Structure 1
Amino acid sequence: MLASPRILLAFSIALLLFSCKQSKEVSSAAVAETLEYLSFQKTGCKGTCPVYKVEVWKDGTARYEGEQYVDRVGLYDGRFSQENLMELMNSLSTAGFWEMDTLYDDPMIMDVPAATLLVKTSGKSHKVKARFGEPETVRNLMSAVEAWSKKGRWAEVTD
């Protein structure tokens, strides 16, 4: 009997997030020095695709803007611990983020949402946009970053 795609995806994400022992560990100080900025954005479709953007800076401060089909609609300020940032940097390294192509797309395919991940460090910057035809490793990384972004402590911004 074959495992369902959902079970395989959940297992892949768990493996990605918890397999850091085989990768080079990143110290808290190294994360604070290297991670300058992260942006993760999901775009919409003609259906009920979630539309939102998460931005995170090196000190752990964050901003979330939910537009539609998300639990939080509106603007939120948040915070991530250094441990959360270390977890993210390890996940990026393990997944081979810095070697991934910058665009996975087929312009002939319409109405497909995109996930875009931009990471800037003190020494480099890399952006990956996954809209269509991305390999499983890219899909798994985007899902892992999406799950990771929910670990932030969020408070709605009120005027």
Structure 2
Amino acid sequence: MDRFMNKLKFIALLGLFVVSITAAMAQDTGDKVAITLERTACFGTCPVYMVSILEDGTVIYQGENFVDMTGEQRGQIDPATVEQMVAAFEAAGYFDWNEAYDTMNVTDLPYVTTSVTRNGETKQILRYAGDDSAPLALPFLENWVDLMAGTPAWTGAPVDSTVGSVGMNNPVITLQRDPCFGMCPVYGVVIFEDGTTVFTGVANVNKIGVEVFQQEASMVDSIVGRAESSGYFGWQDSYDFMTITDQARVTTSIQTPDHYKRIMRYAGDANAPVGLLWVEESIETLVGDLVG
């Protein structure tokens, strides 16, 4: 009982802290806070920081521990993008979810707190990273905020849009397309064995945000089977020779009961197997309407 009460007190204090910091930031800038993300300490070197995105596109980062930059840093994104982000949270169902997912199935993991303000209504959700009851989209939305706000430039910790699933088996297929010097689509795809698919759209795609939907499991099996028969698990871990610069990096992974392989391909490397491009294109076909 004492442990439970202490846990409730911690959650309440954490919520008050986030609200007070958010209010102070809004007062300082004279603009309203639209979205916040805070990551707390774990038993290890998890980055500890908070980032707030204001309605006018101002990004305010506050680094605490295990980050490249501590203290306050500021950036800017398009105000229209902020509107898209709030709409994306709404479309994902964020305002209908619980206020906390904090069951400690595994100890020593960090807490992640997000908040989103829509038409004057603020919703805040606390998630313990080991709670597998959280909605599948929630951890992907958290990572998506990092990507949209550009926090990796300050934390020094890269963010993978294909990492975030809690409470399910590991995905059997993932794909991530990184930015290039231009208008390349930036997004991530995670597909589970039963066909459950998570799409994270970051830039230059039809769908900005996180969408969870269902594929035919047979289509997933087909891609995995052909990748395996084509030699995917025997290929190099990376094909990153830059014959031309400013191209995007594409990272895929395939998992079977017996094998796991992750391959990074620089789009300008002509040495990559033709079969690898087929794997990428096959995954992209499953999310074509969202990419555009």
Q: The TM-score by the shorter chain falls in which range?
A: 0.5 to 0.7
Deviation at 1:84, TM superposition (A): 2.2
Residue from 74, 85, 95 that aligns with 2:92: 95
Equivalent in the alignment of 1:117: 114
Q: Which residue of 2 aligns with 1:51?
A: 48
Structure 1 residue 141 corresponds to structure 2 residue 150? no
Residue identity matched to 2:145:
V
3-state SS, counterpart of residue 87 of structure 1: helix
Q: Which residue of the partner structure matches residue 74 of structure 1?
A: 71
**The residue matched to 2:63 in structure 1 has which SS?**
strand
Distance in 1 between residues matched to 2:84 and 2:55, nearest whole Å? 13
Q: Where in structure 1 are there 5+ consecutive unaligned residues? A: 1-34, 155-159
Alpha-carbon distance change, 83 to 151 in structure 1, aligned in 2, over 3 angstroms: farther
Q: For 2:137, what is the secondary structure of its paired residue?
A: helix
Cα displacement string for residues 56-81 of structure 1 (whole angstroms, at most 9, x for unaligned residues)? 22222231011122233221122221
**After TM superposition, what 4+ stretches of structure 1 lie above 4 angstroms from structure 2?**
151-154
Deviation at 1:93, TM superposition (A): 2.2
1:104 to 83, 101, 106: 101
Q: Scaled by the length of structure 2, what TM-score is found?
A: 0.37
Tell me which amino acid in the other structure corresponds to 2:135: P
Q: How far apart in 2 are the matches of 1:96 and 1:130?
A: 15
CA distance in 1, matches of 2:43, 2:148: 26
In the TM superposition, what is the alpha-carbon distance from 1:138 to its structure 2 partner?
1.3
Shift of 1:107: 4.9
Specify the structure having the higher radius of gyration (Cα). 2
Provide, for residues 17-50 of structure 1, a one-character-per-residue CA deviation record: whole Å limited to 9, x for no partner: xxxxxxxxxxxxxxxxxx7432210011111111
Q: Evaluate the alpha carbon distance shift between residue 152 and residue 94 of structure 1 in structure 2; reply closer, same or farther with a 3 A threshold.
A: farther
Question: Retained in 1: the 8 A contact 2:53–2:60?
Answer: yes
Q: TM-score, normalised by structure 1?
A: 0.64
Q: Which amino acid aligns with 2:66?
A: Y
Greater relative contact order, per chain length (Cα 8 Å cut-off, separation 6+): 1
Moved more, 42-51 or 103-112: 103-112
1:89 CA displacement: 1.9
The CA deviation string for residues 67-106 of structure 1, in whole angstroms up to 9 with x for no partner, is: 1222332211222212321331232123111111110011
Q: Report the Cα distance in structure 2 between the residues aligned to 1:36 and 1:152, rounded to whole angstroms.
A: 21
Determine the C-alpha separation between the residues in 2 that align with 1:63 and 1:143.
17
Count residues with an aligned counterpart. Answer: 120
Q: Structure 1 counterpart of 2:55, which letter?
A: K
Map of 1:2-17 to 2, 5 A cutoff?
none
86-95 or 98-107, larger mean C-alpha shift: 86-95
Mark the CA change 1:65 to 1:111 in structure 2 (over 3 Å): closer, same or farther. Answer: same
Render the CA deviation track for 1:98-127: whole Å, top value 9, x for unaligned: 111110011575311011111223331100
- Contact kept, 8 Å, 1:117 with 1:129, in 2: the verdict is yes
> What are the ranges of 5 or more consecutive residues in structure 2 without an aligned counterpart?
1-31, 155-292
Alignment root-mean-square deviation, CA: 2.5
Task: Using the TM superposition, name which of 45-54 and 61-70 deviates more.
Answer: 61-70
Report the residue type matching 2:138 in the other structure: V
